[in-house]
Amino acid sequence: MRKIGISEIEDIALGAALLGAGGGGDPYVGKLVAIGAVKECGPVTLLSPEEVPDDALIIPIAMMGAPTVLAEKAIGGTEYRTLYDTVSGFFGKPVYAFMPMEAGGVNSMLPIAAAARLGLPLVDVDGMGRAFPELQMVTFTIGGGSATPMALVDEKGNASIFRTITNKWTEELARAVTMACGGSVSVSLYPMEGAFMKKYGVHGIVTRSQRLGSAIRKVKEASASTPEEVFLNITEGFKLFKGKIGDVLREVRGGFNFGKVLLEGIGECKGRQAYVEFQNENLSATVDGRILATTPDLICLVDTETFYPVPTDALKYGKRVMVVGLPCFPLWRTEEGLKLVGPRYFGIDTDYIPLEERQKGGKADV
């Protein structure tokens, strides 16, 4: 158990944006919401998963809809109380704590704001260990968890609960109400008991985000070696490519941002070509025609000077980025995990090979 205040939030937002793997929303907007709540209501208690009773009701908090709308429509501050009342009313049982659903600039922050405003603890766990685009893509699905009852509230005070026959129907109905409410709402889905959370959750994700964020901020202060080496050491990441953005192809389809960013090698990669494909989050990194990493491993683009993560919606011609691969949470590498978030699910015609193994095969030619 420890406290999360404003400086911790700054680091968590930065680290979570890296773990967002290109998605997860704008950490600046997310940070403002969390800091605003903590300034008003005081710091948040962070519990390790083991500190939560097995039968306690834990609910993830997230936003649904377009992050660009969130930036304009904002969050009123009453949403979390309404979510709390709706869910605890449904179960006839008080909510014990909140947790994030995914690591990302926005969705790592909103649960902190909720915890601050309700005076409840936050659990150091999530259901992805990164960000993914669809709502069934959580470790809890592997454990047989259901997205519903899913609660959805808007900043005006309207509340809905869904209980659906499949998570696909959850997506359909929740998406329809999200649009009717103006394109951005606060949600709670996959409500669960402590025991289930402990068994299937990604433990320590908030702490990991914070540690990463703090380290990224200090990369340039390090003196022992080059900043790049420091960055790769602290993230335990693999450098896949370094290049200048030559083109960005984007397509909005079915509510998702699909696209591909083309990179021309710089520095030690000069003369080589690479591209990264994405659906909200980065899906695959290909260098000179050879795939070096695929989902569910994390493919992160970072600025070559500041080492700050560059989300897919900030990709621009001429920007210099390093492509870094981070190994995903082990549960994603199981057969069930790969069915949910492996490359073939996203239409990439390759078997999943762990990032580390792909590196062994090809370290020589990078």
Please state, as a whole number, how many other Cβ atoms lie within 10 Å of the Cβ of residue 28.
13
Cβ 161 to a second copy, closest distance in Å?
Answer: 5
Stretch that binds a second copy, among 123-131, 176-184, 240-248, 267-275 (CB under 8 A): 176-184
d(CA 116, CA 334): 36
Q: Please say which residue, 83 or 292, places its beta carbon nearer to a second copy.
A: 83
Q: Please say which residue, 160 or 209, places its beta carbon nearer to a second copy.
A: 160
Is 165 among the residues that bind a second copy (CB under 8 A)? yes
Mask for 60-89, x = binds a second copy (CB under 8 A): --------------------------x--x
The residue within the footprint of a second copy, chosen from 48, 68, 88, 164 (CB under 8 A), is 164
Calculated CA dihedral for residues 116, 118, 124, 130, nearest 10 degrees: -80
Kindly state the DSSP code that residue 328 receives in the 8-state scheme: P
Please state, as a whole number, how many other Cβ atoms lie within 10 Å of the Cβ of residue 318.
7
d(CA 282, CA 135): 17
d(CA 98, CA 84): 9
The residue within the footprint of a second copy, chosen from 7, 90, 267, 350 (CB under 8 A), is 90
Is 179 among the residues that bind a second copy (CB under 8 A)? yes
Q: What does DSSP say about strands 238-253 and 122-123: parallel, antiparallel, or unpaired?
A: unpaired
What lies within 8 Å, CB to CB, of 295 at 6+ separation is: 281, 282, 283, 284, 341, 342, 343, 346, 348
Stretch that binds a second copy, among 1-9, 158-166, 193-201, 278-286 (CB under 8 A): 158-166
Decide if 178 contacts 172 (C-beta within 8 A). no
d(CA 173, CA 254): 14
Stretch that binds a second copy, among 96-104, 169-177, 221-229, 288-296 (CB under 8 A): 169-177
Is 160 among the residues that bind a second copy (CB under 8 A)? yes
Q: Please say which residue, 175 or 211, places its beta carbon nearer to a second copy.
A: 175
The residue within the footprint of a second copy, chosen from 98, 132, 140, 162 (CB under 8 A), is 162
Cβ 178 to a second copy, closest distance in Å?
Answer: 9
Cβ 313 to a second copy, closest distance in Å?
Answer: 26
d(CA 223, CA 230): 9
Q: Please say which residue, 162 or 307, places its beta carbon nearer to a second copy.
A: 162
Decide if 82 contacts 222 (C-beta within 8 A). no
b/e string for 67-82 if b means 16 or more Cβ within 10 A?
A: beebbebebebebbeb
Cβ 19 to a second copy, closest distance in Å?
Answer: 32
Residues at the interface with a second copy (CB under 8 A)? 86, 89-90, 92, 156-165, 169, 172-173, 175-177, 179-181
